[in-house]
A and B are shown apart, each in its own frame.
Chain A
Amino acid sequence: MVLNWKIGGPLLGLVFFLAVLLVKPIGVSTQFVVADGILWDRQVPDIITQAADGGWTSSNAYLAKYADEIANPVNYNFIFVAAMMGGALLSSLVFGRISLRERMLPDLWRANFSAGWIGRWVIAFFGGMLVLYGARMAGGCTSGHMMSGMMQTAVSGYIFAFGAFLTAFPTARVLLKKEG
């Protein structure tokens, strides 16, 4: 069972506060670009190159913005996301494992779609494409824009939240009619 919001909310807030107190606001979606850059560079070694001044750059205008981080993945942002995965794994092991049935296909999707777990995987893949394409266009995701942004009274955080919920609520109302 999940933590009640009266406990979970302050705890999550404390983590966001710690991040801005000690380093900077939390953000995640940029690291998908860094991971892409690392994989891309393995296939096409010339995509990330060292400039004359020692810094890194790329022939792709977007990757060039993150070329230094792609060339040196052991940096705060990338390790942060790796540590998130470790924290979530530890927490799920300590406080209750998730059943295999649920890990293959979440209950709510089992109730609403008849496509089985392969269908769920296709849906999740397609959803992931939309989420990261949108997040990179917006310049951040639920963590960076919505949570870190709104806590700093950033106007962009409110615009992002408005855009995201504008489509997310109707989509979920249409697709997830049955209650799992």
Chain B
Amino acid sequence: MEIVLAIVIGGLFGAVLERIGATDPNWIGRMLNLTNIHLMKTILVAIGTASILMFGGQMLGLVEVGNMSVKAIHVGVLLGGAILGIGWAVSGFCPGTGVCAAATGRLDAWFFVAGGLVGAGAYALTYPFWEQIGFLKGDKWTIGAIPGADYPAALPNLPFTGDMLGIGIGAAFILIAIILPRRLVGHKAPAGERGAEPAE
């Protein structure tokens, strides 16, 4: 059963990533050089939608709180994120979009995946060092206290639950996506779409 779900959800995820342009390095590049952040608007709306549905479902008891999986905070999150950011801008791929782009026949994406295998292997070899200097130690914090989960809350004394906070933040993400202009630098039209918004 789990394998069937992996095929269905994974297949949907790959197809949607391809349709929104996330597997196209040009759209990633235009987002990161701020000449057209269309993809960022898509991602902000996606995070907001998923957050509202998940926390709303948890409040109604329809979504299993135990399915949540929050990752730990440590120095490696910030440093690793910064290292990833450089490679992201240089290549125009991240791990998920890279393997999907490779599948769509982009040859440069296969080189990205090969480089990724080398990078992950290099990390496996150097992991004891980061572990030893304490860069990987930390707890799994959420912003508010989520009922039914035992993650420590960064803001434990809010007048509302972590669920409600999650819905509020989700709505804020969608609002930011609506407000943000597609081009953040210069006065030209957003890059790569001849002025008009993508529509289909």
Q: Which residues of chain A have a CB within 8 Å of any CB of chain B?
A: 1-26, 28-29, 32-33, 35-36, 39-40, 60-63, 74-77, 79-92, 95, 97-98, 102-109, 117, 120-157, 159-169, 171-173, 175-177, 179-180
In the complex, the answer to whether A132 meets B119 with C-beta atoms within 8 Å is yes
Given contact pairs A107-B26, A159-B73, A159-B77, A5 touches B177 in the complex (Cβ within 8 A): yes
Most A-side CB within 10 Å, residue of B63, B121, B154, B198: B121
Q: A106-B106, A128-B115 are in contact. List 11 more A-B contacts (CB 8 A).
A: A16-B47, A36-B117, A62-B124, A83-B11, A87-B14, A92-B105, A132-B120, A134-B79, A143-B94, A153-B146, A167-B86
Closest beta carbon of chain A to B174's beta carbon, Å: 8
User: Which range holds the interface residue count of chain B?
Assistant: 35 or more
In the assembled complex, 28 residue pairs joining A and B whose CB atoms fall closer than 8 Å, in A order, are A9-B44, A21-B67, A32-B117, A32-B119, A74-B3, A76-B2, A76-B6, A84-B103, A86-B103, A87-B18, A88-B15, A106-B92, A108-B26, A124-B115, A131-B91, A132-B117, A132-B120, A135-B95, A139-B80, A148-B69, A153-B142, A156-B140, A157-B71, A160-B78, A167-B82, A168-B86, A168-B89, A175-B90
Main secondary structure on chain A at its contact with chain B? helix
| Cα A8 to Cα B170 with chains together (Å) | 16
Which of B5, B123, B166 is in CB contact (< 8 Å) with A136?
B123
A88 is contacted by which of B23, B89, B119 (Cβ under 8 Å)?
B23
**Secondary structure at chain B's binding surface: helix, strand, loop or mixed?**
helix
Residues of B within 8 A of A29 (CB): 95-96, 120
Are the CB atoms of A106 and B26 closer together than 8 Å? Answer: yes
Interface contact B45-A20, CB-CB below 8 Å: no
B residues near A129, Cβ cutoff 8 Å: 87, 115-116, 118-119, 122
Q: Judging by beta carbons under 8 Å apart, are B162 and A3 in contact?
A: no
Q: Does B59 contact A (CB under 8 A)?
A: no
Contacts of A80 in B (CB 8 A): 6, 9-10, 13
Closest B-chain residue to A147, C-beta based? B47
Asked if B200 contacts A142 (CB within 8 A), the reply is no
Write out the residue numbers on chain A whose beta carbons fall within 8 Å of the beta carbon of B99. 28, 81, 84-85
